Structure 1
């Protein structure tokens, strides 16, 4: 009954088979291999565009920090939610990689940026005022840290306002596939068609062994050379890149990433409905593979004694995360333990 995180799940067998298949012969190193060439076509099909460049890392923190550092100078700022992963869980990596860039934190229900707070931040931004740190990037997280999804129309509004103010739009997509399934949107609709410039596409939580893709869309491609330089300098240009690329290729082929995210979301719905049927209130609507529920302390302790693994979350809720490998039996055992 481990619902601690989707990062604790194993890699999907098809991912491991793909890595084994590329473990033969000699291949060019540092991203010049044949798998990377094929992967470009695979990403293009998945996102319905050829107007992009990409790089792969082994962690979401590296992807976020590298991507943001290309668009935020040491003297600039990144707008994000006060509960965003880049603020709460990355130990200052965006600031470190950018050489001093600042995170400007905004409020909002369920870790979604409040529209009015965002408009006020953009309205009062004054790049020519020497005493102020000017805004350069808007960073959204989809799914948010509280499991909520930004829909295409929401992202479009934020992106339009951000671009009018000269900001680049970044999406932390650690659970992007879960957001796709939850909203029913296509990858293109939830990214470049909505005005996203750079997406850090997470595949590790979805079923890869360790694979995240930085995708630069449209005009943001002008930063691709700098992205590779920063990747090399920071140690995120592995010589045997084919093993990372193979993971991505396996996940994106035949929509495996979407199917696995769908499985995780279904298990989370099973849990959410089970909690509510037993009288426990959800802290936030379930829109992906995470369930946040208000549990009395004695109930929480009873679940832990029964072997359940989950996290206490800020605000008093308990977080349960389902992965592609979560089973109906685990979910039913948890609910039975209530």
Structure 2
């Protein structure tokens, strides 16, 4: 019974169908009609003009966005648990040709203006030091917690005060919006986000993420950087078709709601053991080694988060029977 990662979930049938429907001759790279439709599709979703492009991975989406924001001798301020710091093998430095990550703290893997300000205050001034010129937050965070529209706006105000560009890693953006019950814009660009890595793979996609720009000055340089980085795929229509299929009829949001609801069932069963509030589709539970072994013996697959905890992740296709079985097992510990 799989609760290791939403990356392990299968591709949604609507995505497979959309890729099949994209067959037939089309101009290569991003010259096809599907790729051309992305700008209008995301402009409608966010109720404002924006530009969008496909890439094959969240790492590429994050790092291409950052590469448009910082120069090689500059730095990005992010949380110490951010995916760009802990799980991307130094890719931000690779894509930016050397830019650093400056790490701040904050409860539940979320920065606040206060923690960001305190960290920024320790950065020296002058040619001997690395100037911070961008801010990156994760929606939902690495602890499965969500920035409210007010919290996003507060971080946006901080970024403007300090003259920082503002990026959002939205690998689980759909889960955050589903939890908040607000518009996608309220959870991102209305708060000042200039570039959003909009995740689809964890939510039913196959191999396509969207990089959405609300700041037009970053678009052209990213088109060149995407090609230079080897991410301008020749049959890009199949990536664009995945994204369009997920946007159609708000499938992206329905999938996230299902995953969140499943996580909520697990959280209710482990209420006294929760390490973080459960606001998306990740549940962090305090468990002993013996308890984790017992759950695995019962057929549940999950990751150890550290020596005292486990992480359970639900997905768009989480089976209700398996979710209830895990909930029962957790209650029985």
Alignment TM-score, normalising by the size of structure 2? 0.96
The alignment covers a number of residue pairs equal to 330
Q: Cα offset for 1:53? A: 1.4
Is 32-41 or 52-61 further displaced after alignment? 32-41
Distance of 2:170 and 2:79 partners within structure 1: 14
Which residues in structure 2 correspond to 1:1-338 (within 5 Å)? 1-23=1-23, 25-50=24-49, 52-123=50-121, 125=123, 129-217=126-214, 220-276=215-271, 280-314=272-306, 316-338=308-330
Question: What's the C-alpha RMSD, in Å, of the aligned pairs?
Answer: 1.3
Q: Cα offset for 1:12? A: 0.6
Q: Cα offset for 1:211? A: 1.2
Q: Contact 2:203 / 2:255 at 8 angstroms: preserved in 1?
A: yes
Q: Cα offset for 1:124? A: 5.3
Q: Contact 1:3 / 1:320 at 8 angstroms: preserved in 2?
A: yes
Is 39-48 or 136-145 further displaced after alignment? 39-48
Q: Cα offset for 1:37? A: 2.0
Distance of 2:112 and 2:43 partners within structure 1: 32
Q: Contact 1:122 / 1:165 at 8 angstroms: preserved in 2?
A: no
Q: Cα offset for 1:126? A: 5.5
Distance of 1:314 and 1:221 partners within structure 2: 42
Distance of 2:96 and 2:220 partners within structure 1: 16
Q: Contact 2:103 / 2:119 at 8 angstroms: preserved in 1?
A: no
Distance of 1:10 and 1:20 partners within structure 2: 16
Distance of 1:124 and 1:333 partners within structure 2: 49
- Deviations, residues 1-59 of structure 1 (Å, cap 9, x unaligned): 11000000001100100000011x21011111111122222211111112x11211111
- Deviations, residues 231-270 of structure 1 (Å, cap 9, x unaligned): 1011000011100000000001110000000000000001
Q: Contact 2:38 / 2:51 at 8 angstroms: preserved in 1?
A: no
Distance of 2:2 and 2:207 partners within structure 1: 20
- Deviations, residues 96-127 of structure 1 (Å, cap 9, x unaligned): 10000000001111111143221123445565
Q: Contact 2:269 / 2:328 at 8 angstroms: preserved in 1?
A: no
Unaligned runs of 5+ in 1: none
- Deviations, residues 55-90 of structure 1 (Å, cap 9, x unaligned): 111110111111111111110000000000000000
Q: Contact 2:289 / 2:308 at 8 angstroms: preserved in 1?
A: no
Distance of 1:231 and 1:318 partners within structure 2: 36
Distance of 1:121 and 1:332 partners within structure 2: 43
Distance of 1:94 and 1:43 partners within structure 2: 25
- Deviations, residues 173-192 of structure 1 (Å, cap 9, x unaligned): 00000000111121011111
Q: Cα offset for 1:296? A: 2.0
Distance of 2:51 and 2:281 partners within structure 1: 29
Relative to 1, partners in 2 of residues 1:11 and 1:86: Cα closer, same or farther, differing over 3 Å?
same
Q: Cα offset for 1:317? A: 2.1
Distance of 1:39 and 1:66 partners within structure 2: 18
Alignment TM-score, normalising by the size of structure 1? 0.95
Distance of 2:212 and 2:205 partners within structure 1: 17
